Structure 1
Amino acid sequence: MPYPDGRRTPETQTRPLLAQRRKEALRLEIAQEAVRLFTSQGVTATTGEQIAQAVGISARTMWRHFPTKESCVLPLLTAGLDFAMAQLRHWPPQMSLLDYFTQICRESELPPVTPVILDLIRMTSTDPALRSVWLQAHNDALPVLRELLAQRSNGTADDLRVQVHAATLNGALRAAAEEFARPPAAGSETSNDIAACLLAALRAASEGLPY
């Protein structure tokens, strides 16, 4: 309960944080079970009720978190985007975009890419509903990217140049993830590294970016 003067006690300050972490953990568990079922029996054959049952919750609880069975995978699809956004908020002045991400790939630990995530990204290329969720995740990231690049260039998020640059960066991030998830060609002895895919995509994008 609050202190007499209205200040929140450490206990009341902690509760929202715990509740948010539990919510995020549940959403992630739902996403993982959804991908497992989608992979094993197909997206069409999987119902929302089956996903809820696999997690051990009611269908009503699951629908409070996600509007459709396909949208259940969203937490897994946004993990890489969330990481990129967080890094861009600390983009040092006078450092190019490519140099900055090269440094990140060399010195920082990138988000883990699990087989579940790879399976999911592959499925977005063949299932229209999952493709829509994947594209929507990137579309939702565009306003954040526009704001970040606008601050960088002392412009506004509505500037056409900023919008084009944000769309280019957004597309590079998506293309890198899809390239990394693509199965290797038959007989190929090399495997793509997520950092290599990311830097190759950003290198291609930066050819037309002034950052």
Structure 2
Amino acid sequence: MSHEQKRTGRPPLTERRKAETRLEVARAAVRLFLANGVAGTSADEIAEAAGISSRTLWRYFPTKDRCVLPLLTGGIELTAQCLRSWRGDQGVAELLEVMRQRADGFVSDRTSLLNLVRLTRIEPGLRAVWLEAHREAEPVFAEALAQRAGLPCPDLATTVHAAMINAALRAAVEHHAFNTDPADGEQAGRLEAAVSQALQVAARGFSS
């Protein structure tokens, strides 16, 4: 392990570059899908828009639809990080504050994410990717909650709580995306308010 990795805990530069490339592919894919639909967009067009070769794109993603996945995994990992740092003596208000503070780094991709969620209403393939991302997130959230509770692995309660948090996050983002007009632009704080309200509703079903 390099001195930089030991000091910062950051992934190697090559991995960061790969992650940045995947994210740029996702942004390009959403732009093209919005303009032309998934069926009307080729993998070659996505690769060209992202500044990579088609061969590189297929190394990163098995299908066109899954090109959008990096826009989803960032927010899910952010939530997992916040859950891992959420102490047992803290309530939902503290969790929401940590999420608000850490969300600043994802502001630049908010519009792309919301446009992607809007597309899931009319593009079944993208809907499947959106739901699959949340399905994969649930055990990650459960592990974080088990750690918070001092358990070696998730029990039924933490598994249910993870499902509630996961559903609340998905419902909040969908509700916001489906009920706002992209032509009006994204008003600061509205998405965060929806997420906050959804998590508070979910929290009424379990203790802090």
Which range, TM-score by smaller chain? 0.7 to 0.9
Kept after mapping to 1: 8 A contact 2:32/2:46: yes
Tell me, in whole angstroms, the C-alpha distance in 2 between the residues paired with 1:26 and 1:202: 32
Partner of residue 135, structure 2: 139
AA partner of residue 174 (structure 1): R
> CA separation in 2, counterparts of 1:9 and 1:137?
32
Aligned 8 A contact 2:169 2:198 in 1? yes
- Structure 1 residues 193, 163: closer, same or farther in 2, change over 3 A? same
Letter in 1 for 2:142: R
Tell me how far apart the structure 1 counterparts of residues 145 and 4 of structure 2 sit (CA, whole Å): 39
Partner of 2:30: 35
Q: TM-score, normalised by structure 2?
A: 0.84
CA contact (8 A) 1:29 1:55 kept: yes
CA contact (8 A) 1:124 1:134 kept: yes
Q: How does 1:44-123 map to 2 (within 5 A)?
A: 44-96=39-91, 98-104=92-98, 109-110=103-104, 111-112=106-107, 113-123=109-119
Larger relative helix fraction: 2
Residue 206 (structure 1) aligned with residue 200 (structure 2): no
CA distance in 1: counterparts of 2:148 and 2:99, whole angstroms? 21
Q: Equivalent of 1:149, from 121, 145, 155?
A: 145
Q: Percent identity?
A: 42
Higher mean C-alpha deviation, range 73-82 or range 108-117:
108-117
Deviations 1:44-90 (A, max 9, x none): 11111221122232211101000100100011112221211111111
Structure 1 unaligned spans of 5+: 1-7
Offset, 1:92:
2.3
Name the amino acid aligned to 1:171.
A
- List, as ranges, runs of 4+ consecutive aligned residues in structure 1 with deviation greater than 6 Å: 11-14
- TM-score scaled by length of structure 1: 0.83
In the TM superposition, residue 149 of structure 1 has moved relative to its aligned partner by 1.4
Question: How far is the alpha carbon of 1:196 from its aligned partner?
Answer: 0.8
Matched to 1:125, the amino acid is R
Measured against aligned partners, the alpha-carbon deviations of 1:100-151 in whole angstroms (never above 9, x if no partner) come to 2333366555431532221111112221110111111111111211111122
Q: Which has the larger radius of gyration?
A: 1
Letter in 2 for 1:62: L
Q: 1:82 to 1:9 in 2, by over 3 A?
A: closer
Deviations 1:177-205 (A, max 9, x none): 112222338xx9xx671221111101111
Alpha carbons 1:52, 1:59 under 8 Å: kept: yes
Q: Could you tell me which amino acid in structure 1 is paired with residue 95 of structure 2?
A: F
RMSD between superposed Cα atoms in Å: 2.7
Deviation, 1:159, is 2.3
Do 2:84 and 2:148's aligned partners in 1 also have CA atoms closer than 8 Å?
no
Q: Is the 8 A contact 1:180 1:194 kept in 2?
A: yes
Aligned residue pairs total: 199
Query: Structure with the greater relative contact order (CA < 8 A, sep ≥ 6): 1 or 2?
Result: 2
Match of 1:5 in 2: none
